[in-house]
Amino acid sequence: MSQKWTESNVPDQSGRTVIVTGANTGLGYETARVLAGRGAHVVIAVRDTAKGDAAANKIRSASPQAEVDVVALDLGSLASVRAAAEQLKSAHPRIDLLINNAGVMYPPKQTTADGFELQFGTNHLGHFALTGLLLENVLAAEDSRVVTVASIAHRNQAKIHFDDLQWERSYNRVAAYGQSKLANLMFAYELDRRLTGKDTISVAAHPGVSNTELMRHTPGTGLPGFNTLANLVTNSPLVGALATLRAATDPAVRGGQYYGPAFPVASMGVVGHPHLVSSSAQSHDQGIQRRLWAVSEELTGVTFPV
């Protein structure tokens, strides 16, 4: 395999069922497009089904043989997560790939339908609940994987604030995003440990810095020339999605690994093609991982069959 892992390295996915959250645009769309083009039956799970239908039609235009479905999923509502999970479980007894991709970044302070801080509730708790509800169907597939999209932001002002998980005392949108992405990574690691002995693995990925709609709340986005500058120092959505695609499909991937760009900027992988990368020492703290898992079960009411 070449050093530069690209879309062409994705193996044939015929006969596989893939669920990608947040796949109507950006990284999720590129992930869904490539997998559908390789023969997978892809389910786009999105909050706005009209945008999901448009994305599915665009994928079908590029790959007329593609099988693409759309399911309504609002990760900020546990009722929506449960409804989507029931629909998916009924339609797909075997799920080969669950890709937890959707997310929000740096919004003004908001809460989910269940009262959780928006970034923690959507990025972590929504995906935690969805994974738990679908895991029996994932376990039913041979060589199945759960891929959770984290971020280099898991290092940025990030810790799990067990004394104020929902940022009710004060709100720092950068630190809140960092907490949610650290939680994503800890969830991926803890899930893989719980899958020991199963024919299913949990893997994490990050896109580096990618110029997608996720950046819409980033300070400076409205300034003249922002997009031109961003395009020079960030990954395109496709290159950003390659880390997810590698984590999802590379036969050499092992459970508990973390893939992302390796080109060093400020001592972190920010741009470029995906490699096996490391995460912060904090992200590997098994005590915090287990505590976060227990709290997440309590907050969502979802327990896992492992």
- pLDDT digit string (tens) for 19-47? 999 999 999 999 999 999 999 999 999 99
Give the E-state strand segments of the chain in sequence order.
17-21, 41-46, 67-72, 97-100, 144-149, 200-205, 258-265, 268-276
Q: Is residue 209 part of a domain?
A: yes
Closest CA to 124 of 169, 166, 72, 71: 166
* Structural domain contains residue 8: no
Pairwise CA distance, residues 65 & 234, whole Å:
32
d(C-alpha 159, C-alpha 272), whole Å: 27
* Three-state DSSP state, 203: strand
Tokens of 75: 């990760």
pTM: 0.90
* Domains identified in the chain, total number: 1
pLDDT tens-digit profile of 48-65?
A: 999 999 999 999 999 999
Annotation marks residue 177 as catalytic: yes
The whole domain housing 202 covers 13-300
177, 189, 258, 259: the catalytic one is: 177
Give residue-wise pLDDT tens across range 242-299.
999 999 999 999 999 999 997 554 444 466 889 999 999 999 999 999 999 999 999 9
CATH number of the domain residue 234 falls in: 3.40.50.720
Tokens 């104020």 sit on residue = 164
For the stretch 151-210, pLDDT in tens is: 999 998 899 999 999 999 999 999 999 999 999 999 999 999 999 999 999 999 999 875
Quick check: is 4 in a domain?
no
Q: Is residue 215 part of a domain?
A: yes
